[in-house]
Amino acid sequence: MRKLLASLILAGYAVEFGNASAASPAIPQVGFVRVKQAAKPAEEHAHPEHGPHGGDLIELGKEEYHVECVHDEKQKAIFFFLLDGEAKQLVAVPAAEIAINVKSKGRGKQYKVEAMPQKDDPKGTTTCFATKDATLIAVLEQHGIEAQLVIDIGNKQYRGKIAHDHDHAHEHSPKK
């Protein structure tokens, strides 16, 4: 009975994790950051002050993931890049959109921001969401607003507070 149980456990391990001797799939490169599929959140909690594209960071969960918010004034757009727990690598997810919930002067409004898959994102996934919605961009620039980003990753919904840094110049074009 023990041998049968051990065999079933090992067979389950092989099915779930595949052949341990097989080579791991290559992770596509995107500029200077790597793309990885959403998996277990990173254990470490050390991360830079800004994301790889120079944008502000939004913490999701208990630093399980981050979203980098990049305001590109030249394109009149805001880009949201999904990053790992260390805010260093892009994370690809099959989400079609994210939500931005905004509360100002006691009134709430929800904006949808559509996925903008990048050329190196695995098929059917995205690492980036973007909007040219002038109203949303103006609202996020205001003082005294409460804004929250909402995204589903796997079977879990993550929320993160958007806090725009008004103490710096506004040249936020994504670093290439």
Residue 32 in this model has a pLDDT that exceeds 50: no
pLDDT value, residue 5: 33
Q: Which two tokens stand for residue 49?
A: 């002050």
C-alpha 169/C-alpha 176 separation (Å) is 19
Residue 162 in this model has a pLDDT that exceeds 90: yes
C-alpha 101/C-alpha 52 separation (Å) is 25
C-alpha 118/C-alpha 71 separation (Å) is 17
Residue 87 in this model has a pLDDT that exceeds 50: yes
C-beta atoms surrounding 101 within 10 Å? 15
Percent pLDDT > 90 in the chain is 57
Q: 60 with 67: CB under 8 angstroms? A: yes
pLDDT value, residue 104: 82
Q: 71 with 51: CB under 8 angstroms? A: no
pLDDT value, residue 36: 52
Question: What's the pLDDT band for 174 if we cut at 50, 70, 90?
Answer: low
Q: Give the model confidence (pLDDT) of 134-143 as tens digits.
A: 999 999 988 8
Q: Which two tokens stand for residue 41?
A: 């959140």
Q: 127 with 51: CB under 8 angstroms? A: no
Sequence-ordered alpha helix ranges (H) in the chain:
2-17, 134-141
Q: 23 with 78: CB under 8 angstroms? A: no
pLDDT value, residue 45: 47
Question: What's the pLDDT band for 1 if we cut at 50, 70, 90?
Answer: very low
Residue 144 in this model has a pLDDT that exceeds 50: yes
C-alpha 159/C-alpha 101 separation (Å) is 10
Question: What's the pLDDT band for 25 if we cut at 50, 70, 90?
Answer: very low
pTM above 0.85, yes or no: no
Sequence-ordered alpha helix ranges (H) in 40-168:
134-141
C-alpha 48/C-alpha 26 separation (Å) is 26
C-alpha 143/C-alpha 96 separation (Å) is 29
pLDDT value, residue 49: 81
Residue 21 in this model has a pLDDT that exceeds 50: no
Q: Which two tokens stand for residue 20?
A: 């341990």
pLDDT value, residue 164: 62
Percent pLDDT > 70 in the chain is 66
Q: Which has the closest alpha carbon to 96: 61, 132, 130, 56?
A: 130
